[in-house]
Amino acid sequence: MNKMVERSVRDTKDMLPVASPVQQDDQSQSVFLDPDVSDLQSGPRLRGAILEQSGRVISGWIVDAQSPASTVAISLFVASHCVEEGRTGRSVPASVGPHTVIGRPGFRVNLSTPGMRRRLARALKNTLLEGKPVQIYLRISLNDGEYYEIPLFEKLESNEVVVALGFSTDDYDDLLFPNNDKKFVAAMAGAASVKEVRYVCFYLPQFHSFAENDRWWGPGFTEWTNVSQMRPQFPTHQSPWLPADLGFYDMRLVETRQQQADLARRYGVHGFCYYAYWFQGRRLLERPLRLLLEDGEPNIPFCICWANENWSRRWDGSDTELLLGQNHSLEDDVRFIDDMADILLDDRYITVDGRKILLVYRPSLIPDKERLFQTWRVRARQLGIGELLICNAMTFGEFDPREFHCDAAVEFPPHTVNARELSRAEVETPPDFSGKLYDYLEAMRSTLGKVYEFPFFPTVMPRWDNTPRKGSRGHVFVRSSPEAFEVWLREATERARRSSFEQPIVFINSWNEWAEGAHLEPDSRFGRAYLDVVRRVSAGESISAELRANSALLDCLSRSELEQTIKSAAVHVEVLANLQRNEVALTGFQSIREGLPVEIEGAIASPDGSMFVIENINSQTEERVVVDPRYRVLVRGWVFAKDGFEPLRNRISFLVLSPEGETNAGKSGYCLVIDWHERMDVTEYMKATARECCFGFEVSFMLKGLPDGEYRLSMLEVGEGENLLVGSSHSLVVRH
């Protein structure tokens, strides 16, 4: 059920702050819904308030009156684009000074992080180009499936929304008129000897209704059926995703195929590699290919890959629940070239060094490969097709084309990557999840610089997640991102240029494998971000600002790329400095450091008038929290320094862990606090001046290196003239 909640200003005097550590008065900011929690048995189901709304942060609290102790899901939308998702904190009583309150602010959407700025910019760009009024709202999803939408910024014009979200007025034109209409070429200026690399996407011709699907899966079934039913399988699962620009399209429409081709060309994609499903003369999913010849649309280069496996209900290469089998025989398979002749003879068909490229998904299933492929080559010449370049897809460990009498191989991730399987605890999966989890960054790194003793074409994948098909049995590569994909695509491009082919290709898996999460087409989560990576790489542009700011990926770049980026950057000194910074400053996620920071020497301990309040540790509000050092710890809270304290311009503070008792004497630890934000709700409650603001924080770290025991938490504030060490009543109990 979808309910649009009208926001109104209410008197909040004497209200119980369900998710705030402070009382609110009649001067508080705008309030939506009903803040009265004195009677949860009657009245509106949702209670809550917005405590802060600016271009930097949106925070507040939400309570489901039918289940006050339960958390609810919070999503921030710009039109149809979801730019952030999260959940409210637990509603647990806690004490702050003389007051008894309930927990921390129920939700906080940080609009100032680089990732959030990027997502906001993409969503705004797509929304402004549509010429429609900008709608920005919070979606509150309850545990029983009901959801509410709370409008934000609803009375502002488009340009005012841009400014309200923290973008400068100079950004407005760039958002509204992105410079991506130029023709893209891969060759670098003045480098005639550099090979031009073409980018070809695998293309699934499944998104239309046909008789076999109706019979096997139900009337009207397409892959959209699976995509529309997907649900998150674990807390950090980036799911669901839905089509953005092209919508739930039907491939039988010429307009759909034209739009796909226009989008591909605009972002540097050279062409598509269609899967061809051919069973002893019988075709499946053939209509898009047939219409490609009949209508001439899309007018874009293409080639085919014979998907010569059995057709099974599981769509994973397994013969379980066989629907249509491949009964390979030389007498049948030789007819494949004759049946595909009209396709191979088309002027748009892709050639490599004068030879028509033809992919076979699993040649190992063909009994007499050498004789068959030789027959194909002879027959292709007789039909006027010319020379063939027969390639095997590198799947199921079948990599070397020489073993299958093929001419070259095509990488096919995830088959061609190496990545360890992550444990459930690392990703915090629920007990009913039986799938497999892998690290995308690790998989990407495993391909860097990879060469083979045979001709090959590199292939990259933007993401991988087949939970739309398999649900809780799916395989997911976590930590994928446009920046990581950019590293992979750039490196694959260089590998392609160093290959033996004069007309190299980098394949991308894929254009539209929506049920495997491996699509380039725009979606509601990332917009055109992955397409924009292809555009930048194909145009020979330097690495993106997002990639420059990601320390976890910079070491993957070649030295020449890095130097070129630094020289071309207007802030090259800052870029050089960033390269020297450790993981703390760039990621906010760190390992605890043993010992104490040098700044603690001479610090004023527990100064009068200062407060250090920890609101929760790993969502727990107890003063003693037991943690396992194998997993990360997340601490949230706020700090109020004593009157007259002057913090450094770039705020520097350390969370310090001091051992309790004599058991672990000398085994202290500390970490740098990165994420700071003003807590106007606390400042108002403390009646502090703007100069004496209270600052909220959150810090995430690993406890590797610290022995078991109890550690008291304190905050070291580094100032202009003095340093403060402010203690708290909270402690961590480290226990393996």
Q: 478 or 602, which is more confident?
A: 478
pTM above 0.75, yes or no: no
Band the pLDDT of 112: cuts 50, 70, 90: confident
- Of the candidates 699, 706, 643, which has an alpha carbon nearest to the alpha carbon of residue 671? 699
Q: HSE (CB half, 13 Å, CA atoms) of 31?
A: 20
In this predicted model, what pLDDT tens digit does every residue of 23-78 receive, in sequence order?
333 333 333 566 676 677 787 888 877 777 766 778 777 888 787 777 788 888 88
Higher pLDDT, 314 or 422: 422
Specify whether the CB–CB gap between 279 and 286 falls below 8 A. no
Please compute the mean of the pLDDT values over residues 79-84 and round it to a whole number. Answer: 82
Asked which of 115-129, 276-290, 446-460 is least confident by mean pLDDT, the reply is 115-129
The token pair at 103 is: 């927990």
Domain ranges of the chain: 37-163, 198-541, 547-584, 589-734
Which DSSP string do the residues of 194-249 spell out, in sequence order?
A: SPPPEEEEEE-TT-S--HHHHHHH-TT--HHHHHHT---SSTT------B-SS-S-
Evaluate whether 37-163 and 198-541 have a shared fold. no
Q: What is the pLDDT of residue 157?
A: 67
- Write phi, then psi, for 227 (nearest 5 degrees): -60, -40
Q: For 37-163, CATH number?
A: 2.60.40
Instruction: Give the CA dihedral 481, 487, 488, 492, nearest 10 degrees.
Output: 160
**Tens digits of residue pLDDT in 411-420:** 999 999 988 8
- The residue that leads in pLDDT, 596 or 500, is 500
Q: Which long-range contacts (CB under 8 A, 24 or more apart) does 434-439 make?
A: 434/472, 434/473, 435/233, 435/467, 435/470, 435/472, 435/473, 435/474, 435/475, 435/476, 436/475, 436/476, 437/475, 437/476, 437/477, 437/478, 438/414, 438/475, 438/476, 438/477, 438/478, 439/477, 439/478, 439/479
Stretch 208-228: mean pLDDT, rounded?
84
Which helix (H) or strand (E) covers residue 278, if one does? Answer: strand 271-279
Closest CA to 308 of 297, 324, 288: 324
Q: Greater confidence, 639 or 351?
A: 351
More confident residue, 554 or 95: 554
Number of neighbours of residue 185 by Cβ within 10 angstroms: 12
Q: pLDDT value at position 283? A: 87
Tell me the CA distances in angstroms from 623 to 620, 663, 727, one per residue in order.
9, 20, 13
Query: Of all residues in the chain, what percent carry a pLDDT higher than 70?
Result: 78
- Residue 258 — pLDDT band, cuts 50, 70, 90? very high
DSSP state of 349: B
Q: Tell me the two tokens of residue 231.
A: 């649900």
What class has domain 198-541?
A: alpha beta
Geometric angle at alpha carbon 203, from 198 and 205, rounded to 5°: 155
Average pLDDT over residues 270-294: 91
- What pLDDT was estimated at residue 119? 75
- 278 compared with 542, residue with greater pLDDT: 278
User: What does the pLDDT read at residue 105?
Assistant: 44
Nearest CA to 176 out of 133, 119, 127, 111 is that of 127
Distance CA 8, CA 34 (A): 9
Residue range 589-734 forms a domain whose CATH class is mainly beta
Task: Compute the average pLDDT of residues 642-653.
Answer: 74
* Separation of alpha carbons 683 and 695, rounded Å: 8
pLDDT at 456 over 90: yes
From the list 543, 403, 415, the residue with the least C-alpha distance to 482 is: 543
Alpha carbon distance 218, 302 (integer Å) = 31
As a whole number, mean pLDDT of residues 507-514 equals: 96
